[in-house]
Each structure stands twice: as C-alpha cells, then as structure tokens.
A and B are shown apart, each in its own frame.
Chain A
C-alpha cells in the first residue's frame, strides 16, 4: 500500500504518531492533507446528484472543494476560543497535543465519509428525489461524526488521565464546532445541487441563518 494510505490506516487505529510526534507541524500538515484528499473525494460524489456532464461537472468540483473548506474554516473559527478555554482550565501545556488530537479526528471524519461515498453514489443511482438525497447525505455526515467521536475519545484519553479538565474541554469543543459547523454548512449550500436550480458555488439567498430557519420551522409546527 502507498505510504499515504498506510498512514491513513494507522490513523483510524488511533496511531500514536498522530498525537505524539517529535515533528508537530509536519503531523498537522499531514492531517490537513488527509482532510483535503478524502474531503474532496466525498464532496465530489456528493455533488454528482444531478449528473456529471456539461454544466453539472462544475457542481461536482464545487462540492468537492466545499467539504474540506467547511471542515477547515469551521476548525479555524472555533480554535481561538478553544485555546483560551484551555489556558483558563490550566492545560495550556497540553494544547499542542489537544490540537493534534482534534485535527486527527477531523482527518478521520473525512476518511469515514470517503468510505461511505459509494453508498451515496448507489443512493443517487437508485433514487432521483432531491429531498431524500439531502436526508441521505445528512445521515452519512451523522454516521461519520458519531464514529469520529470514538476516535476523539481515544486520542483524549491520555490527556484526560493527566488532567480531568480535558473532559469538559472536549465536550466544549464539540459544542463549539457543531454550532459553527452547522451555520457554515448552511452558508456553503448547495452541496448536492438541486437539479431544478442552476449550478452555482453559493446560493443566491445565502445570507440566511440556519438556527433561525430551524427555530421558525419548529415554531410553525408547534403553533399550527
């Protein structure tokens, strides 16, 4: 197997190189490369709903770029507050390792997503309903996120053993990341590409707010 894939395999098994390396910057770059390569893979498949010919090829490329963008930018936006929270909890000396653990989890998330891509392709091939395609992709993202949590817990175990504060810091990170990530996903729509709408990188009415939208939907259901 190619060394790149070999290290990906090792990452999924919770390989110690990801969090305990003498060359931290190199490891971070390596993990970033995973996110890009495997994120592009899944994104490409995700964007292929309306076909891959002519104009629609653009949607495939856009979606391929958007998945790593979604994960990377969300990561960067959430990082400063996580850094200060770590410092405040007295575990700043572990921050480098915590950062690598988080990055490794991101990389694993895209790996899992990429492994689920064939299912998405199969779904697209067997069903032409746009709404169900959205739900199916949401399900794939949910599976990948939940599975990646196990790896995060494994990477965090030595940290938690060293200092209990890491436990709630890890939870705080998940809350922060999900909070920003959901809005980022909303902002970067369309991922799948509505067959009835023209191909575009951003939606025309992109300046919406995911939470407000959901709150309104819930309110309409409740108040009906």
Chain B
C-alpha cells in the first residue's frame, strides 16, 4: 500500500510526468494500484463531508456519513466511466498515438491529482462541518472545494497531454531549458553559466515547445469541459452527499431540478433571501 501511495506522490511531485519519463508515450504508473489509493482518498473526503449530517443530527445518525463515504469515490469513477469511451474513440479518430492503456493511465493520474487535492481540503471541510449549522453554506463550500480540485486535476491532464505530444514528436529533442528565475540580488555567483541541474518541473508547470497534434488537444479540451459538466450532474444524481438536516435520510433523492439551479438556490439562501 505504501508503494502505491508513493506512486501518487510521484505524480503529484511531477516526477512521473517529466519529459524523459514520458518518452515511451505513456505515464509510468500502475492504474489499478493507483485506483485503490484514490478510492481511499475519496472515502476520506466523504467522511469529512458527511460529518455535517452527524453533527446536525446531534451525533445520532451516521447513515448519511456512511453513504457519503461511499458516494464520493463513486462519483469520480462513474463520471470517468461515462466520459471515457467517447474520449477514447474520438482520440483515436483524430489520429492520436495514445493507446487505450495510456489514455486510461493519463485519466487515472488526473483523478489522482483531483482526489489528492480534494482529500487535503478534508480538514478544512471537517472543521466547517463541525462549526456551522448552515446547510447551504456547506453546499457552497463543498462545491468550491470540488471545483478547485477538479480544475487542478484537469489542468494536470492538459499539461501532461501537452508534454506527451512534445516527447512523442521530439524523441531526440532535449527538454526545453527552464527559463531563469527572477533576477537575483547578486547572491548567486555563477549566474552566467547554465545551471547543470535546472529547477525541477512541477506537475503543473508549462513547458515550452512546439505543439503538434492539436486535434488531439482539441478533443481533450472539449472532453475536459464535458467531464466537468458530467461530474456536476453526476453529483446531482448521487445526492444527497451532505444531507439537508430538514429532510429525512435517503440514499437517493427523486429526480428533480439540476445541479446548477440548486447551487443558485443555496447561494440565494446564504444571502438571506
């Protein structure tokens, strides 16, 4: 298990997506092992998210928390399940050299970034769950946290795709040198010499280089938007996550309304309308 977490750590540090590591045209991670870690992280966040319902019920009702613990990982994997087939088909259609396994690894790695960020916000969400009574505030806070982690995960996806295209097209081309940082205040003696070991690239840092295969990038860009929309609606279908204290426990709610309308309603009610 510790080894599997190390894999996630390599992704987060950007080691797994450095240019030399991508030469084989795929990310060197084991998708299955990583998926297990992701489920655990999702469950952790689900616990923090579901804590609100336990507090709201006076510490008596743990069902909503359990449901939420299951639902958070489910949300991510179901969204992936819905969007993956079309992505792969269109990706192949526009002539990408990414094989199905590479696409899957890329997506699981992106989910890794998303869930790691999400789980790391768990402490803050848990703190607010304990200290606030306002259901609508919790809805907005969770939407914000999900949006931030989703945004970072998808940024990682696009950046890695960009790097994959560079490394695919320029097998012999060395990685672009990192632009020198801010002018130093005379404390670095040998600034004229090129540094032998450039600052390590983060997982989200942009890399200069020719962008080829822009059809593939277009497909992925559209997919990123699609993923966000499907994810939001999937979250709506799987609701309740947080559990409105004024309604009874239910594993699912009836099919009404949609995600965006609900967020606007919550916003209105926090503003006191």
Contact = CB atoms under 8 A, between A and B. Distances in A.
Interface stretch (A13-21, A118-126, A214-222): A214-222
A78 B137 CA distance: 19
Contacts of A93: 200
Contacts, number: 107
Nearest to B269: A212
B134 A164 contact: no
B262 interface: no
A213 to B, nearest CB: 9
B271 A219 contact: yes
A88 interface: yes
Interface string A183-222: 1101100000000000000000011110110011011100
A88 B124 contact: no
Nearest to B148: A81
B137 A211 contact: yes
Interface stretch (B6-14, B85-93, B94-102, B220-228): B6-14
Given A164-B181, A180-B124, A90 B272 contact: no
B17 to A, nearest CB: 10
Interface stretch (B62-70, B125-133, B210-218): B125-133
Interface stretch (B19-27, B73-81, B112-120): B112-120
Contacts of A90: 13-14, 200-205
A57 to B, nearest CB: 27
A220 B272 contact: yes
Contacts of A207: 131-133
A87 B12 contact: yes
A161 B127 CA distance: 34
A183 B123 CA distance: 14
B137 A84 contact: no
A89 to B, nearest CB: 5
Contact of B131 (A76, A91, A187): A187
Interface residues of B, number: 37
Interface string B5-45: 00001001110000000000000000000000000000000
B199 interface: yes
Interface size class of A (residues with CB under 8 A): 35 or more
B121 A161 contact: no
Contact of B181 (A77, A163, A209, A220): A163
Nearest to A209: B132
Interface string B132-156: 1110110000000000000010001
B157 to A, nearest CB: 13
Contact of B127 (A88, A180, A206, A216): A180
A211 B267 CA distance: 12
B184 interface: yes
A154 interface: no
Nearest to A163: B199
A170 interface: no
Contact of B13 (A81, A87, A161, A162): A87
Given A90-B200, A90-B202, A162-B181, A215 B272 contact: yes
Contacts of B123: 76-81
B271 A183 contact: no
Interface string B178-208: 0001101000000000000001111111000
For the complex of A and B, 9 pairs with smallest distance between CB atoms: A90-B202, A84-B120, A209-B132, A216-B272, A81-B120, A219-B272, A87-B12, A80-B120, A89-B202
11 contacts: A80-B121, A81-B123, A87-B12, A89-B204, A90-B204, A161-B181, A163-B202, A209-B131, A212-B134, A212-B136, A215-B271
